[in-house]
């Protein structure tokens, strides 16, 4: 069977962002040579179909005729484009089967009504065992369920995708970049967070399986950096320490980034992760207003804890990427500006101000009367245009400060040297041969000086130096 993985994303759209609902940023916008990594689900499905003996190809923003099965993995940002492409594909290939998978498909199956597709709800990697059953199923919406052991899934296969272009420039300076995960689910239950909608709770992978995926990605596809998709990295510290040890002992050093909370990242774990290759920490801060956090069911992190973590990261040469939310239903222009002021006080390497979005499968989404008929990211108090204007103000006031550049320029451009923090990793015990930088080769003159040898006399051909000196004088 010929299978086509159909992508309709743009370079600036990261489909794995926001727990699979997608994020869009200004970075890489309009780029032809680089793009955010394709969703990890596509790579896993490529491995699933290949292991089952099917031929797999990948396309971007174009129709490919003649295949037996087409697979889409939409995000909220690209949902309209995907639906339009599915309609054109169905008209051009009446006999083909079209399958829609992923987080949006599971949360919004009704969005694909009338398109003649099969919507799989749950974890699409289970098609490894249920593909034939799904294709025979008479209904248009097929529940797959959830896996208990994430390590039973085949490792991702990136061979059909433009993996050499994958990069996340806010996190890394070595590319290409691949998404990876060591766990799924989150122990917190915040009413506006899409990461808490996993019905089976937190599931963790074996650190050795994660390390093997990294080794394979480096060896087979040349990945030099990895973005962990875990919503709360470090929530199981013993596994985090074991994973860091295995990464540090790899024959080739890599860069990786994580997402966590300041109160879930002790200094000892941070140091070990840094030695293993950690170069960026993402922090979900959202707002300094404790009452707003409590109303949303989000535990409050003390201000001093967040400031100390950012300061520790800066001292270790680790970038910090702080995410704030603006436009809550009870927000005012003054409260939004206060978020911007708080971000400037924390002074992370990157600050992102996201309009509050009611993601499907969250309590905030369920409280909306008709979430699909309105702009779920626009609160009634301010409106979409006002929130966007305030977002731009926050960005401008954050990055147009001399104190920002003085503290973060060395982190943004570590290769420039100068006053930049030492970016070379310390090695874990037993990992020195793999992770110490080899000495620079010395020139002949340096080697002679180091050995204490003369530069003339018995170490030159007789008369050569005298003849050369005489000719130069003449």
Kind and range of the H or E run holding 212: helix 207-221
User: What residues have CB less than 8 Å from 320, skipping those under 6 apart?
Assistant: 280, 281, 282, 283, 309, 310, 313, 314, 348, 349, 350
Number of domains in the chain: 2
CATH number at residue 371: 3.80.30.20
Write the burial class of residue 175 (CB in 10 Å: 0-12 exposed, 13-18 middle, 19+ buried). Answer: middle
Residue at 469 is within a domain: no
pLDDT tens per residue across all 474 residues of the chain = 999 999 987 888 999 998 899 998 876 666 667 889 999 999 999 999 999 999 999 999 998 989 999 999 999 999 999 999 999 999 998 888 999 999 999 999 999 999 999 999 999 999 999 999 999 998 899 999 999 999 999 999 999 999 999 999 999 999 999 999 999 988 887 877 777 666 778 999 999 999 999 999 999 999 999 999 999 999 899 999 999 999 999 999 999 999 999 999 999 999 999 999 999 999 989 888 888 888 877 788 999 999 999 999 999 999 999 999 998 888 899 999 999 999 999 999 999 999 988 888 887 787 765 555 444 454 557 888 899 999 999 999 999 999 999 999 999 999 876 444 434 444 343 433 334 333 444 444 443 344 444 444 444 444 444 444 444 444
Residues 400 and 281 in one domain: yes
Strands 183-184, 23-24: pairing kind? unpaired
Q: Given this model, what pLDDT does residue 434 score?
A: 38
Structure tokens at 474: 């003449």
Same domain, 198 and 256: yes
Q: Say how far apart CA 135 and CA 142 lie, in whole Å.
A: 9
- The answer on 359 and 213 residing in a single domain is yes
Tell whether 313 and 379 lie within a shared domain.
yes
Tokens representing 259? Answer: 């997402």
Residue 403: what pLDDT? Answer: 96
Which of 374, 398, 416 is at the close of a domain?
A: 416
pLDDT given at position 280: 98
Considering the domain boundaries, does residue 444 fall inside one?
no
Task: Provide the pLDDT for residue 283.
Answer: 96
Quickly tell me which residue has 């998978």 as its tokens: 101
Q: Is residue 396 domain-resident?
A: yes
> Strand runs (DSSP E) across 298-383, as ranges?
319-326, 350-355
Rounded CA separation 198/207 (Å):
21
- What's the pTM value of the predicted model, to 2 decimals? 0.85
Whether the CA torsion 186, 188, 190, 191 is positive or negative: it is: positive
137 plus 192 within the same structural domain? no
Task: Evaluate whether residue 436 is within a structural domain.
Answer: no
Q: In the prediction, which pLDDT does 363 show? A: 79
Q: Are 99 and 223 contained in the same domain? A: no
What SS3 state is found at 79? helix
**Beta-sheet pairing, 118-122 with 141-145:** parallel
- Structure confidence at residue 369 (pLDDT): 57
- Of the residues 150, 179, 202, which one is the last residue of a structural domain? 150
**CATH number of 114's domain:** 3.40.50.280
SS3 279: strand
Closest CA to 42 of 83, 77, 79, 74: 74
Residues 74 and 43 in one domain: yes
335, two tokens: 């409260």
Q: Are residues 108 and 172 in the same domain?
A: no
Gap between the Cα atoms of 266 and 244, Å rounded: 14
Give domain status of residue 474, yes or no. no
Look up residue 186 and give its two tokens.
Answer: 């989150």
For residue 464, tell me if it sits in a domain: no
Q: For residue 332, what are its two tokens?
A: 């005012």
Domain assignment present for residue 46? The answer is: yes
d(CA 61, CA 81): 9
Q: Could you tell me if residue 317 is left (phi over 0), alpha (psi between -120 and 50 degrees) or otherwise beta? A: left
The pLDDT of residue 260 is 95
Nearest to 186 by CA among 243, 260, 239: 260
Give the pLDDT confidence score for residue 136 in this predicted structure: 93
Number of Cβ within a 10 Å radius of residue 473? 6
- Residue 463 is assigned to a structural domain of this protein: no
**Is residue 326 within 8 Å of 393, Cβ to Cβ?**
no
Question: DSSP letter string over 140-157?
Answer: SEEEEE--S-GGGSPPP-
Residues 308 and 344 in one domain: yes
Same domain, residue pair 249 and 324: yes
Residue 196: its pLDDT value, please?
65
Boundaries of domain holding 96: 2-150
Q: Are 210 and 216 in contact (CB under 8 A)?
A: no
Peptide bond into 176 cis (omega under 30): yes
User: Looking at 150, 185, 201, which one is the last position of a domain?
Assistant: 150
Q: Do 232 and 184 meet the contact criterion of CB atoms below 8 Å apart?
A: no
User: Which pair of structure tokens corresponds to residue 357?
Assistant: 């979005």
The verdict on 88 and 226 lying in the same domain is no
Same domain, 206 and 304: yes
């Amino acid at each position: 069977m010929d299978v086509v993985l159909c992508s309709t994303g743009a370079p600036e759209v990261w489909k794995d962002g926001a727990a699979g609902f997608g994020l869009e940023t200004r970075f890489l916008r309009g780029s032809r040579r680089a793009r955010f990594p394709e969703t990890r689900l596509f790579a896993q499905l490529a491995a699933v179909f290949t292991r089952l003996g099917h031929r797999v190809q990948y396309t971007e923003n174009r129709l490919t005729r003649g295949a037996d099965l087409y697979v889409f993995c939409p995000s909220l940002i690209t949902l309209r484009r995907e639906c339009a492409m599915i309609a054109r594909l169905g008209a051009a290939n009446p006999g083909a089967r079209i399958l829609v998978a992923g987080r949006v498909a599971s949360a919004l199956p009704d969005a694909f009504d009338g398109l003649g597709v099969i919507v799989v709800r749950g974890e699409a990697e289970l098609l490894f065992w249920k593909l034939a059953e799904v294709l025979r199923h008479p209904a248009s919406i097929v529940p797959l369920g959830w896996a208990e052991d994430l390590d039973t899934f085949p490792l991702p296969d990136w061979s059909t995708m433009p993996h050499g272009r994958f990069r996340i420039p806010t996190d890394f300076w070595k590319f290409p970049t691949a998404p990876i995960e060591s766990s799924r689910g989150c122990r917190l239950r915040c009413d506006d967070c899409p990461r808490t909608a996993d019905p089976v709770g937190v599931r963790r992978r074996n650190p050795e399986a994660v390390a093997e995926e990294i080794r394979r990605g480096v060896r087979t596809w040349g990945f030099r950096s990895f973005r962990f998709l875990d919503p709360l990295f470090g929530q199981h510290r013993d596994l985090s320490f074991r994973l860091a040890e295995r990464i540090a002992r790899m024959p080739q050093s890599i860069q990786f980034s994580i997402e966590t909370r300041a109160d879930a990242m002790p200094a000892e774990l941070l140091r070990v992760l840094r030695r293993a290759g950690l170069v960026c920490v993402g922090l979900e801060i959202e707002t300094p207003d404790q009452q707003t956090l409590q109303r949303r069911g989000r535990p409050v992190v003390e201000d001093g804890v967040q400031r100390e973590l950012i300061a520790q990261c800066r001292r270790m040469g680790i970038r910090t990427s702080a995410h704030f939310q603006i436009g809550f239903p009870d927000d005012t222009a003054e409260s939004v500006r206060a978020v911007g002021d708080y971000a400037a006080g924390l002074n992370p390497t990157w600050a992102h101000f996201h309009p509050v979005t009611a993601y499907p499968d969250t309590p905030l989404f369920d409280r909306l009367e008709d979430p699909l008929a309105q702009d779920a990211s626009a609160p009634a108090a301010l409106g979409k245009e006002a929130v966007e204007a305030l977002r731009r103000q926050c960005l401008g006031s954050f990055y147009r400060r001399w104190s920002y550049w003085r503290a973060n320029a060395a982190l943004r451009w570590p290769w420039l040297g100068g006053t930049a923090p030492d970016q070379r990793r310390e090695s874990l015990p037993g990992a020195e041969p793999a992770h110490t930088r080899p000495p620079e080769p010395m020139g002949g003159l340096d080697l002679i000086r180091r050995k204490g040898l003369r530069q003339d006399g018995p170490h030159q051909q007789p008369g050569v130096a005298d003849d050369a000196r005489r000719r130069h004088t003449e």
